[in-house]
Amino acid sequence: MSDAVQIGLLGLGVVGGQVHRLLTEKAMVIAQRGGRAVTVRRILVRDAAKPRATGVERSLITTDARDILDDPAVDVVIELIGGERPAADYIRQALQAGKHVITANKEVMAKQGPLLLALAREQGVGLYYEASVGGGIPLIAPFRRDLVANRIRSIRAILNGTTNYILTRMANGGAELGTALAEAQAAGYAEADPTKDLDGMDAACKLAILATLAYHAPVTLDVVYTEGIRGLAARDFRYAQEMGYAIKLLAIAQEQDGTIEARVHPAFLPAHTLLAQVHGVYNAVVVEGDLTGPVLFYGQGAGAAPTASAVVADLIGFLKNMNQEGYRDPGFLDEGTVSIRPMSKVHARYYLRMPVEDRPGILAEIARILSDGQISISSLFQRHIDQTARTADVVLMTQRTQEEAMQRARAELSTLAVGRESPGLIRVEE
């Protein structure tokens, strides 16, 4: 066996700490399976004074990225600091310096992935990112290899563990969002700043990465319609259950008539469907290929060990590639551009919940606004009646209609709602 491959580790937090541990504890396995031994040469952190796990050699720690990026002895950079900046700059500089890179960074790969992969190709090095989507669930490799003969009809996925945990608590325990979030944080699932999870940004990044692989062309974050879970109320879950549905934060990419729609938003799913039964912090992805039909991926989409499993798998894959003379990892097959369907042109059925004054004629006014917008109602009921305040929730489902028409009607319906509140709107995915 030739000399050990030298690793520069950027980040020693939840994932970086676990990767570091595996590089020590599984050193023999990595060397046997990859065909080369590895050594951690340097570790970048933000705060050098922070206490670290036993086994971390303090002399390897630095707060200066140049100690890794400018060191010609470093062969592979493993980026686990997160966020777009400075991580994207470090990845670019590492590639430019002829180093191979492994990353778990969904934000960088969603925003700059195609450019960085092109740079890696130019430089003749590899950029690996299995851990960026779905933690320990194999997704990047299956899209690039096992599904590549397919035309991908659709991806329907639960890609964020934090929000799925919160939605599960809201559905099963009747908790409001704030309470469920506090529980998720206490259980260590949600980050101290869960903004990117709650607002759908985390799932949108992951969907952009998968859609780019599925459609062999860049699907960047800015074309993914993104709506988070903050608008959901505990009673939406009660009404959904009454009607035989679950509510999930769904990431959808699908092709129709040569255009791709890419969107992340809460959705009603029939309670018997696979995705409706994915609970807690678990993730699931259903891919519909023209040859395979539906294929399901399910597992832990976050957490130190599952994510480190994907990082170390990329490392072993890289070590094996290194031994194949002339092998160049393509990153993804870039076949040009895709045409994106704007959200306004998407068709769906809709659930609407609006608090109104409980008075004669209100239902007729709601029906008139929807009828003017050519929107057909498929069911309607009234709940949560407050006799004292003389208010009630009107809950209805529409037939399939265009988003544009629905949003126009929603704006008009808000003039009827108590406090002119915009009606709660959730798309229904059959």
Asked if residue 130 binds ligand HSE (CB under 6 A), the reply is no
Cβ burial of 114 (10 Å; 0-12, 13-18, 19+) is: middle
Instruction: Give the shortest CB-58-to-ligand NAP separation in angstroms.
Output: 13
Stretch of 104-112, 163-171, 407-415, 422-430 lying at the interface with ligand NAP (CB under 6 A): 104-112
Instruction: Give the shortest CB-250-to-ligand HSE separation in angstroms.
Output: 14
Exactly one of 168, 283, 307, 401 binds ligand NAP (CB under 6 A); that residue is 307
CA distance 274 to 248: 12
Neighbours of 85 (CB within 10 A): 9
What character string, x for contact with ligand NAP (CB under 6 A) and - otherwise, covers 22-61?
----------------------xxxx--x-----------
Asked if residue 228 binds ligand HSE (CB under 6 A), the reply is no
SS3 412: helix
Helices in 279-361 by DSSP H: which ranges? 304-322
206: annotated active-site residue: yes
> Residue 312 or 413: which CB sits closer to ligand NAP?
312
Residue with tokens 């992951």: 206
Instruction: Give the shortest CB-348-to-ligand NAP separation in angstroms.
Output: 30
Instruction: Give the shortest CB-161-to-ligand NAP separation in angstroms.
Output: 8
- Site residues for ligand NAP, 368-407, by CB under 6 A, read none
Per DSSP bridges, beta strands 245-256 and 259-270 are antiparallel
Q: How many residues bind ligand NAP (CB under 6 A)?
A: 23
What character string, x for contact with ligand HSE (CB under 6 A) and - otherwise, covers 160-199?
xxx----------------------------------x--
Q: How many helices (H) and strands (E) does the chain have?
A: 14, 18
Asked if residue 95 binds ligand NAP (CB under 6 A), the reply is no
Stretch of 159-167, 170-178, 336-344, 412-420 lying at the interface with ligand HSE (CB under 6 A): 159-167
CA distance 9 to 45: 9
Instruction: Give the shortest CB-374-to-ligand HSE separation in angstroms.
Output: 39
Token pair in block for residue 278: 């994915």
Question: How many C-alpha atoms does 87 have within 13 Å on its Cβ side?
Answer: 23
> Residue 132 or 401: which CB sits closer to ligand NAP?
132
Asked if residue 66 binds ligand NAP (CB under 6 A), the reply is no
Q: Considering CB distances under 5 to 8 angstroms, the limit depending on partner class, which of ligand HSE, ligand NAP, none binds residue 162?
A: ligand HSE
CA distance 107 to 117: 14
Give long-range contacts, CB 8 A cutoff, 24+ apart: 335-340: 335/216, 335/217, 336/216, 336/217, 337/217, 337/218, 338/215, 338/217, 338/219, 338/259, 338/260, 339/258, 339/259, 339/260, 340/219, 340/223, 340/259, 340/260, 340/261, 340/262
Give long-range contacts, CB 8 A cutoff, 24+ apart: 174-178: 174/234, 174/237, 174/238, 175/234, 176/233, 176/234, 177/229, 177/230, 177/232, 177/233, 177/234
What character string, x for contact with ligand HSE (CB under 6 A) and - otherwise, covers 281-310?
--------------------xx--------
The residue annotated as part of the active site, out of 106, 111, 196, 206, is: 206
What character string, x for contact with ligand NAP (CB under 6 A) and - otherwise, covers 323-342?
--------------------
Token pair in block for residue 421: 């509140």
Q: Which residues bind ligand NAP (CB under 6 A)?
A: 11-16, 44-47, 50, 80-82, 86, 104-106, 131, 135, 302-303, 307
Known catalytic residues are 206
Q: Which residues bind ligand HSE (CB under 6 A)?
A: 160-162, 197, 202, 301-302
